[in-house]
A and B are shown apart, each in its own frame.
Chain A
Amino acid sequence: MTPSQTHLPSRHALPSMSSLWSLRVPSASLQPCVCVLKHRVFSNLRTEFGSNRENVRWNEVRSDGRFVLRAVADPVSSSEPNSDQEEVVKSEGGDPFAKFYGIVTSLPPVVYVMKSKSRAGYAFGLCVVTAFVFVVMRVFAARRANHNRSGSVADLVRRGQLRSDRRVKVGKRNSTLEMCGKVYRLAPVTLTKEQQAIHKKRRSRAYQWKRPTMFLKEGDMIPPDVDPDTVRWIPANHPFATTASDIDEDLAQTNVYQKHGVPFRIQAEHEELQRKLEALQMDQKLDKLVIDRKNAQDFERPYKFQASPLDGEQNGSHNQSSNSSESEHSSSSSSISQSSAEEIQKQ
């Protein structure tokens, strides 16, 4: 048995003591504990291997309530494992002052630390200073290079020839792409022509479709020479299902192809109006026109609201009848004829 092993308590007292101790002083005692435990294992191994090499065996680290603390006061003595100065602090949880004293004594003295690490610290400091100087020089050089760079893409951006916000940057290995401040990883598309052909084949089997060439409203009769498969039935309220158009197909096509001149309908209306006026003038119907006083009252707006409701109804019915009988241009022609009649009357 080594001297260090003599400090070990019996195994029966282990659990309760250690739990108590760890509960009470958890943080402050952690470092000495580890240090001492290491040391103990080390010293145990040393003693086991050194003194009695035939009986080499591993001594398990046993955590117990007692902590062996070693103060590294003397470097010479600490180099010798057999002459370790160890101090056992019984952590029975009763005396906090003793615990604190143990912690303080376990810490290495500052002077020793400074002495032992002065050379290493100096080297480290030199490295830090060198790195800092290097970084500063690099930044300085980069800024200077930025200012002096001419003819590059950045220069084009600065001059407004290129738009920096639309630039897409591709990585060196073409595996990444930078766009709008985000970096994306590229992956190849795997669809092949063969796969496309397979899909086409599948769809051609699945969707047998013949383009409808005739649109019929629901309820209409299919013309005799039409294939029923090409008929598309349209509900009566569909935008396509209007009533028969007053314009035929050829005329519509001509209208679409018309590039110059007055559009067909405008010209037709104009010609119609012109024809009417000419007819009126030729037939001298203007002289025979009789002024309708009720119609004339329509133009006298300030007095209109004083008219009786009966008059209003009569006027409305008259507009309706005129609207129903005549188209827009005919109503405009009637107003023209009325105004011309008034002029005649004045004369």
Chain B
Amino acid sequence: MASKGKPARATLVDVGVKNTRPLTQPPPLPFLAAQLCSSFIRPLSLSLSLSLPSNASSAGAPNLSSTSKLFSFSNPIKTLKPLRPKHPPPIQSVLQWNRKPQLAGETPRVVVITSGKGGVGKTTTTANVGLSLARLGFSVVAIDADVGLRNLDLLLGLENRVNYTVVEVLNGDCRLDQALVRDKRWSNFELLCISKPRSKLPIGFGGKALVWLVDALKSRQEGSPDFIIIDCPAGIDAGFITAITPANEAVLVTTPDITSLRDADRVIGLLECDGIRDIKMIVNRVRTDMIKGEDMMSVLDVQEMLGLALLGLIPEDSEVIRSTNRGYPLVLNKPPTLAGLAFEQAAWRLVEQDSMKAVMMEEEPKKRGFFSLFGG
């Protein structure tokens, strides 16, 4: 069982950014806490028993108790009791009020957004993170690599502007720049669809075609985009293989349920086998009420099971469906919703190649003092 008093290993401090480069363009928003997290955790365990070694000295004895139950491992390894510190260190957080996110890594950063299981929010994440990046001042190309079942254009409200796709580019019916659909709301965001809903992709071109596309985007006249985000189809067959081919980092979207976690673990395994080392996860559709009632895994439980760094946590929000129906991504909503803010923060961390150092639990509504009755 996960213990209450887990030692606080990480603290919220300012990020050590690698290979940063300053931006010339100011960010569109006066922006908030990049290091802060929006996660909703349950301090105690749930029905799945999770026990991970909490100190570094136990690294030699891998603890697979949780994962072995979930993924049918039969490795009888002794579990170690986590140490309970008497005085947990204080959480330090730094609000990034007066600075813009600094881009880490070489451009273009090719990020595949995948999950394994369908319906967990890959396309929603692609749309919202992509537009958040564009709002932060980065040039973004989002590629919908779902060959038969593309939906990203619908979420972005660009379905009526998709005339050409990658298939037409390959056939020579149009050039690549003609197939890119520029978003009128944020002109540094472009959409590229692989194919039309009923068309088919030539069998051998899948992965190679995406590599060519990335190369062609790199050598564009207007400059290489900062981010190329690939929306991966569900499953682990040809579509998945095609989508991950040009990627050098991955964002795994999962929900805190056991089916999604099993698929996610398999997908992480395939990504690691394929040489993608930089994998972070976004936990989507987190419901605090269910976590409180111990009916849903907490974020820390999910993290313990998958062993991935957290990029973001997205609370369940009815606004997601509304925004999908409107073709207007959440992050553009005014006033912003919790989920929209969480996507923005995830995008911020993606830019800086950072991960969440602290998660937060929902508390009671804001307490007000006695004098608040008198307007104080």
Contacts and interface: CB of A to CB of B under 8 A. Distances in A.
Chains A and B are bound partners: yes
A189 B300 contact: yes
B167 to A, nearest CB: 10
B206 A188 contact: no
B213 A189 contact: no
A165 B64 CA distance: 43
A194 B310 CA distance: 15
Interface residues of B, number: 110
B187 interface: no
A175 B173 CA distance: 58
A257 to B, nearest CB: 5
Interface stretch (B27-35, B121-129, B136-144): B27-35
B201 A240 contact: yes
Contacts of A178: 366
A234 B338 contact: no
Interface in B40-54: 40-41, 43, 52-54
B169 interface: yes
B239 interface: yes
B221 interface: yes
Contacts, number: 286
Q: How large is the interface on A (under 10, 10 to 19, 20 to 34, 35 or more residues)?
A: 35 or more
A166 B30 contact: yes
Contact of B241 (A143, A167, A211, A241): A211
B270 A207 contact: yes
Contact of B170 (A182, A203, A255): A255
Interface in A254-309: 255-261, 263-266, 268
B269 A170 contact: no
A293 B268 CA distance: 69
A259 to B, nearest CB: 7
A242 B200 CA distance: 6
A190 B50 CA distance: 13
A214 to B, nearest CB: 8
Interface in A95-116: none
A105 B355 CA distance: 77
A170 to B, nearest CB: 5
B104 interface: no
A183 B364 contact: yes
Contacts of B334: 165
B376 interface: yes
B30 A161 contact: yes
A256 B71 contact: no
Interface stretch (A9-17, A80-88, A243-251): A243-251
B151 to A, nearest CB: 15
A207 B173 contact: no
B7 interface: yes
B172 A187 contact: no
Contacts of A165: 334-336
Contact of A264 (B63, B93, B172, B205): B172
B23 interface: no
B175 A258 contact: yes
B266 interface: yes
A158 interface: no
B372 to A, nearest CB: 11
A232 B241 contact: yes
Given A203-B272, A210-B273, A234-B203, A198 B62 contact: yes
A174 B37 CA distance: 12
B132 interface: no
B212 A240 contact: no
Contacts of B221: 259
B7 A190 contact: yes
Nearest to B367: A183
Given A167-B32, A168-B32, A234-B203, A191 B309 contact: yes
A209 interface: yes
Interface in B72-130: 73, 88-93, 95
Interface stretch (A53-61, A120-128, A134-142, A323-331): A134-142
A161 B26 CA distance: 13
B69 interface: no
A195 B216 contact: no
Contacts of A263: 172-175, 178
B356 interface: yes
Given A232-B237, A240-B238, A187 B175 contact: no
Contact of A139 (B11, B12, B360, B374): B374
Contacts of A242: 200-203
B15 interface: no
A253 B307 CA distance: 39
19 contacts: A166-B341, A168-B33, A170-B95, A184-B360, A185-B360, A185-B361, A186-B12, A188-B8, A195-B52, A195-B53, A195-B59, A195-B307, A240-B200, A240-B239, A241-B200, A245-B202, A255-B171, A263-B172, A268-B172
Given A139-B374, A166-B336, A192-B59, 7 more contacts: A179-B341, A180-B341, A181-B366, A189-B37, A252-B209, A256-B169, A263-B174
